[in-house]
Chains A and B, each alone.
Chain A
Amino acid sequence: ETGVTQTPRHLVMGMTNKKSLKCEQHLGHNAMYWYKQSAKKPLELMFVYNFKEQTENNSVPSRFSPECPNSSHLFLHLHTLQPEDSALYLCASSMTWREGRGTDTQYFGPGTRLTVL
């Protein structure tokens, strides 16, 4: 596998289900991101992890719970979602330098198309 992979590619779930989205990056990066892409809306940043530490939570409802066990893996745990949470969920990764030089380009996975019934 190369680049950023995401599983599953498609997910249909009921509002009472619990499911998880998985992202894995094979680029040696140390920052990972979750984005939400809804129809006719700009991409929304949800969470940022740098060196496994969460550095950004963009006012995301608690029914979305991220987990980053190491710099290569990122999960998004879903529970009691609403129909308006149906969207494309994109994972991205980039390199971050500790010395404050900022991050490099973000590379995205293919996304998980989530439908909440």
Chain B
Amino acid sequence: AQKITQTQPGMFVQEKEAVTLDCTYDTSDQSYGLFWYKQPSSGEMIFLIYQGSYDEQNATEGRYSLNFQKARKSANLVISASQLGDSAMYFCAMRVGLNFGNEKLTFGTGTRLTIIP
């Protein structure tokens, strides 16, 4: 069975500071993908960043980077220079397998990030 653990239910961060959101995962599969999504109060899940299990480099997308430590099974999201608009719920998710029919995403319980002006 696959499992995603996000141990920080809530975080408060000063504007313009960097923030790290923790995510650990558990799977016995060798091929998997890790995702981060942002969910503002409006409800939409917004895709932020993806890391494949065979990717050697950490993924980066603008102010977002994924600190992938495979041996520790962690995939932390780092947001540099936080902005007020970053206040939202953040979900870590994992897709196991790379074969047709194994598209299931397993989500963590999320972290509510609040940016303080």
A110/B43 contact (C-beta < 8 A), A103-B95, A105-B50 known: yes
Binds A, one of B65-73, B76-84, B97-105: B97-105
Classify chain B's interface size: 20 to 34
Contacts known (A42-B108, A42-B109, A43-B91); A102 close to B103, Cβ less than 8 A? yes
Closest to A42 in B: B107
| B64 contacts partner chain A, Cβ-Cβ < 8 Å | no
Within B31-83, the residues touching A (CB, 8 Å) are 35, 37, 42-47, 50
Closest to B99 in A: A100
A88 touching B103, Cβ below 8 Å: no
Residues B100 and A102 in contact, CB atoms below 8 Å apart: yes
B100 and A108: CB pair below 8 A? no
Given contacts A105-B50, A107-B47, A113-B43, contact A48 B109 (CB under 8 A): no
Contact check, A102 vs B105: say whether CB atoms are below 8 A apart: no
Q: Is A65 an interface residue (CB 8 A)?
A: no
Cβ of A74 within 8 Å of any chain B Cβ, yes or no, is no
Q: How far is the CB of B25 from chain A (nearest CB, A)?
A: 13
A45, closest chain B residue (CB) = B104
| Cβ–Cβ contact A102 & B102, under 8 A | yes
- Interface size range on A against B: 20 to 34
- Residue in B45, B102, B103, B106 whose CB lies within 8 Å of A108: B45
Q: Give residues in B with beta carbon < 8 Å to A.
A: 4, 35, 37, 42-47, 50, 91, 93, 95, 97-110
A residues with CB within 8 A of B? 31, 40-43, 45, 48, 50, 55-56, 88, 90, 92, 94, 96-103, 105-111, 113
A and B contact pairs by CB, cutoff 8 A, 10 listed: A43-B93, A45-B105, A48-B104, A50-B100, A55-B101, A88-B43, A90-B43, A100-B98, A106-B103, A108-B47
Q: A96-B100, A103-B103, A106-B103 are in contact. List 15 more A-B contacts (CB 8 A).
A: A40-B109, A42-B107, A42-B108, A42-B110, A43-B93, A43-B107, A48-B103, A48-B104, A55-B101, A99-B100, A101-B98, A108-B47, A109-B44, A110-B44, A113-B43
